[in-house]
Amino acid sequence: MRSAKYIDMCSGPVLRKMIVFTLPIMFSGLFQLLFNATDIIVVGKFAGDNALAAVGSNTALINLMTNLFIGLSIGVNVVAARYCGAKNVKELKKTVHTSMLISVISGVILMAVGLCFAEQMLRLMQTPDSIIGMAADYLRIYFCGMPFMMIYNFGNAILRAAGDTSRPMFFLIVAGVVNVLLDMFFVIVLNMSAAGVGLATSLSQGVSAVLIIRCLLKESDSSGLKLNPRELKIHKDKLLMIMKIGLPAGFQGTVFSLSNVVIQSSINLFGEAVIAGNSAAASIEGFVYMAMNSCYQSTLSFTSQNIGAGKFERINKILLCGLLCVMTVWAVLGLGVCMSLGRPLLSIYTSGEASIEAGLRRMVYVCGTYFLCGVMEVLVGSLRGMGYSITPMIVSLLGACGLRLVWLATVFQIEQYHTPDTVYLSYPVSWVITVAAHVVCFFICRHRLKKKMLRYQQA
């Protein structure tokens, strides 16, 4: 299976290989954000505010519905990486075919839900009557592309587990360029408004799915990665392994989406300027988060492959290298770019001085301490790579999510602390506590895993 396309995660220098592995994931995430921003710019500039609102009103709902299934792809990554590290081609083949069939089933389920219940879900979110028709059309068309989205994400997880992050990045860039071109054609030339953006997104997702399937079809039989449509089958043991890791990760993402709605509702109390500044700062911070999340992805894959290869002694080094990478990303993007260039960056989103000041205030609290979030993510990656997914889910939900909700229900309600600053302070406070809890969990889980591996070797 080893070739120039794949990184050997189980031998040699860890840091250099992690950097090579991480960079394509990082660029993929950043490109995705840029393409998403293009969607918003095109529809807002050429289709008007109502069309922009129709597209924007769907974002939280789409994230809420897809997070659970995207979480399953994390399970695919861990299980596939384990078999790659163990060089167990037979079990890897079963994982590949189980995963790709799950991706299709997941996509069809999401598509059916979106087509049947689009308007009802939007009404539950109190979408204004003036845009609900346009928003429902966009959502239905968008969800027609869900099978393609799931195929790409699951296929990407398989290639990443084997050490290949470059080709998925290339596929994403191709699909992103197609998306931008179709956006302009459907919205500017054909005047399709929000529906045009939805159609462009679905078709571009189809492009990425075709590319990832073509890639897997052309893999060699000996690699264990080759996709054979006739062998598509759900192997029960592989499904259970994927769900054991993936469902907690997906559930965590879903609950985080819900908690963000509550946080946003608290910010909404302070008027349009604060809302605009908060939204602009959050968008900028999204680029930093996406880059830091790539360090989580690499820690996850490296840890899982080395556990599969029986190289327990490399776990600590992988974690330390992941932490070094995430701190470097935060120092360069978080401090070097966002904090230093906060005002000119925010001015791209808004020209209002009050909004810019509100955005800068958020960035001090959130972006200024974002390394804590990155450290938390890398620790979670290490724990999931070792096979522990429920533990980091519980810790993250209680710490990073539950604590913020308690903070808003208590401290934020005190009159002198009823300010946006108090809302923003909930982020670093929750991160500190959650990081401390994850560190304790890491040492406990590592000790348990070491004992388990020793018993296995002695058996």
pLDDT in tens, 11-64: 889 999 999 999 999 988 888 777 777 777 777 777 776 777 677 667 767 877
Q: Are 384 and 392 in contact (CB under 8 A)?
A: yes
Same-domain status, 218 and 304: no
- What is the helix (H) or strand (E) element at residue 384, kind and residue range? helix 370-385
In Å, what is the CA distance from 289 to each residue of 271, 399, 411? 26, 18, 27
H-state helical runs in 234-336: 236-267, 272-308, 315-329
Determine, yes or no, domain membership for 414: yes
> Nearest CA to 179 among 156, 157, 197, 155?
197
Determine, yes or no, domain membership for 126: yes
In angstroms and rounded to an integer, the radius of gyration of the C-alpha atoms of the chain is: 22
Determine, yes or no, domain membership for 302: yes
- Percentages helix, strand, coil for the chain, rounded to the nearest 5? 85, 0, 15
The residue written with tokens 């045009």 in the block is 196
Same-domain status, 252 and 380: yes
Q: Cα separation of 402 and 405, whole Å?
A: 5
Question: Where among 205, 234, 263 does a domain terminate?
Answer: 234
Determine, yes or no, domain membership for 163: yes
> Nearest CA to 205 among 146, 136, 290, 157?
146
Q: Within 13 Å of residue 84, how many CA atoms lie on the same side as its CB?
A: 30
- The CA-based angle 295-290-26, given to 5 degrees, is 60
Same-domain status, 221 and 254: no
Same-domain status, 217 and 354: no
As for how many domains the chain has, the answer is 2
Determine, yes or no, domain membership for 260: yes
Amino acid identity of 157? Answer: A
Q: Which two tokens stand for residue 185?
A: 């054609």
Same-domain status, 262 and 352: yes
Determine, yes or no, domain membership for 1: no
Task: State the pLDDT at residue 231.
Answer: 94
In Å, what is the CA distance from 94 to each residue of 184, 215, 308, 310? 42, 17, 16, 21
Q: Are 142 and 62 in contact (CB under 8 A)?
A: yes
Task: State the pLDDT at residue 401.
Answer: 85
Task: State the pLDDT at residue 63.
Answer: 75
Same-domain status, 94 and 190: yes
Chain CA centroid to CA 198, Å: 20
For residue 190, give the DSSP letter: S
Instruction: Specify the pTM.
Output: 0.85
Same-domain status, 33 and 166: yes
Task: State the pLDDT at residue 258.
Answer: 72
Same-domain status, 110 and 58: yes
**Residue stretches of the chain with pLDDT short of 50:** 1-2
Domain of 164, in residue numbers: 21-234
Same-domain status, 222 and 258: no
Question: Where among 234, 267, 294 does a domain terminate?
Answer: 234
Same-domain status, 229 and 111: yes
pLDDT above 70 covers a percentage of the chain that reads 96
Those residues with Cβ within 8 angstroms of residue 285's Cβ, 6 or more apart along the chain or in another chain = 338, 363, 366, 367, 370
Task: State the pLDDT at residue 1.
Answer: 45
Same-domain status, 429 and 371: yes
Same-domain status, 208 and 256: no
Determine, yes or no, domain membership for 193: yes
Residue 53: how many other CB atoms lie within 10 Å: 19
Determine, yes or no, domain membership for 133: yes
Chain CA centroid to CA 235, Å: 26
Question: Where among 169, 199, 234 does a domain terminate?
Answer: 234
